[in-house]
Amino acid sequence: MKVSVISETYLLVREKYICRMKALIIGNVWPEPVSSAAGARILQLLRALQDQGYNIHFACAAGKTNYAEDLENLDITTQEIKLNDVSFDQYIATLNPDLVLFDKFVIEEQFGWRVKEQCPDAIRVLETIDLHGLRKGREAASKAGVPFTEDFLDNDFAKREIASIYRCDLSLVISEAEMQLLEEYFRIPKQQIFYLPFMVDEVTSSTSTNWKRYEERAHFVTIGNFRHEPNWQSVLQLKKEIWPLIRKELPQAEMRIYGSYPAEKHTQLHNPNEKFYVLGRAESAFEVIEDARVLLAPLLTGAGLKGKLLEAMQCGTPAVTSTVGAEGMHGELPFNGIVTDDSALFAQAAIELYTNEDNWLQARANGIEVINERFLASKWQPEFAKILSALKQNLIPHRKSNFTGSMLWHQSLQASKFMSKWIEAKNN
């Protein structure tokens, strides 16, 4: 998805007059914004921190792929690090960052105690991206063939994730629905979590005028990283239940599936005779989405915000999705299409949007409103800067108020620390 661009003039002024603080982002993987919404989200956070005057460093223990973003070209210093290795202690002690952001709770589990020991005054921020406990709970309910209930939140992922939230000074939550879950079900104190959705540029009249028109578009599209289980289940749902119904009414239409890292089980669904095309990685998500007339996302499970739906809004492409897909996307505003969990109704909605230009245009207009009301970088970047500034000024009392976090540091994380040191000693 498109991110806000920092003006060259501002960068020059900032460099000249601001004593730059240092921020370290520890990634689970190297960001691939073309491959996943998570990659695009990390880039948004990196740019937001740059906009606040931070000198950005990005460290990761995973191997780089050919599709990883060139962070050095974005004025971001990169560092390959190792798991369970004292070299990280030496690296971060020398760097001495003012802020450390973990891009998943599993990264905080690995490196959080090392950050705390070497840089105790650094602000520790957790990027949740989505609540893994919620996603895993929904997957478990789906596999069991029963409706999801709060009972499914009692899982190991949720417990580990909530513990990580308490250990950090601040956790970023991308969805209002997940903010509500954290506050009301898990009883997380409000000062520990901060709602920060996708941050993108405004859709202006000039932007929308350049979008492809209804008559210039054809076919249906969906997109998403095949390694992400909710995306794979969504494709299966399209193949088995939804696409046959659509084909009966629209025999000339095509279903085009794009996704990074397809395996054999994914490509086996490719069937030109059924006009069901599994096409692999898209060089540009925006191009393939804007070429399509309607985006389909029948997500049965998952959590967080759905990057494909935001990208559809940014391209002026109406969508049909499920309640899970639409969760946190449009708030009280009309969705840029139709939301339903019934396969037959889903197919009917897709056909209706595809064939009715007036409804299609209204859905497109809804998407513009959603972006401009809910996801503007110009609104959320200053809010992000404000809360980090307040946290920096009140870090000691903030930590003293978080007794549960200090208790977890004293007890549970000792196990992770000692296990890591044992692995470290064994490797040496």
Mean pLDDT of 77-98: 95
Is there a contact between 32 and 65 (Cβ–Cβ < 8 Å)?
yes
Residue 321 φ then ψ, to 5°? -145, 180
CATH class (in words) of the domain with range 205-374: alpha beta
DSSP conformational letter for 239: I
With 60 as the cut, is the pLDDT of residue 115 above it?
yes
Spans of all domains in the chain: 8-200+377-427, 205-374
Q: Does this chain's domain 8-200+377-427 share its CATH topology with 205-374?
A: yes
pLDDT of residue 426: 65
With 50 as the cut, is the pLDDT of residue 418 above it?
yes
Q: What's the CATH number of domain 8-200+377-427, 3.40.50.300, 3.10.20.740, 3.40.50.2000, 3.30.450.20?
A: 3.40.50.2000
- Please state, in angstroms and as integers, the Cα–Cα distance from residue 391 to each residue in 162, 334, 347, following that order: 20, 35, 48
pLDDT of residue 413: 57
| Cβ-Cβ contacts under 8 Å for 296 (sequence gap 6 or more) | 220, 221, 222, 238, 242, 255, 319, 320, 321, 346, 350
Q: What is the pTM of this model?
A: 0.89
Of 215, 207, 178, 211, the C-alpha closest to 195 is 178
What mean pLDDT, rounded, does the chain reach? 90
Q: pLDDT digits over 161-202, tens only?
A: 999 999 999 999 999 999 999 999 999 999 999 999 999 999
Of 253, 219, 198, 167, the C-alpha closest to 47 is 198
How would you list the strands of the sheet with 193-195, edge to edge?
77-80, 54-60, 21-27, 99-102, 123-127, 170-173, 193-195
| Cβ-Cβ contacts under 8 Å for 103 (sequence gap 6 or more) | 25, 26, 27, 28, 38, 42, 127, 129
pLDDT of residue 263: 82
User: How many CB atoms neighbour CB 383 within 10 A?
Assistant: 14
Percent of the chain with pLDDT over 90: 77
d(CA 323, CA 340): 6
Q: pLDDT digits over 277-316, tens only?
A: 999 888 888 899 999 999 999 999 989 999 999 999 999 9
DSSP conformational letter for 30: -
Q: pLDDT digits over 125-139, tens only?
A: 999 999 999 999 999
pLDDT of residue 66: 83
Residue 60 φ then ψ, to 5°? -155, 140
Token output for 50: 């740059």
DSSP collapsed to 3 states, 33-102: CCCCHHHHHHHHHHHHHHHCCEEEEEEECCCCCCCCCCHHHHCCEEEECCCCCCHHHHHHHHHCCCEEEE
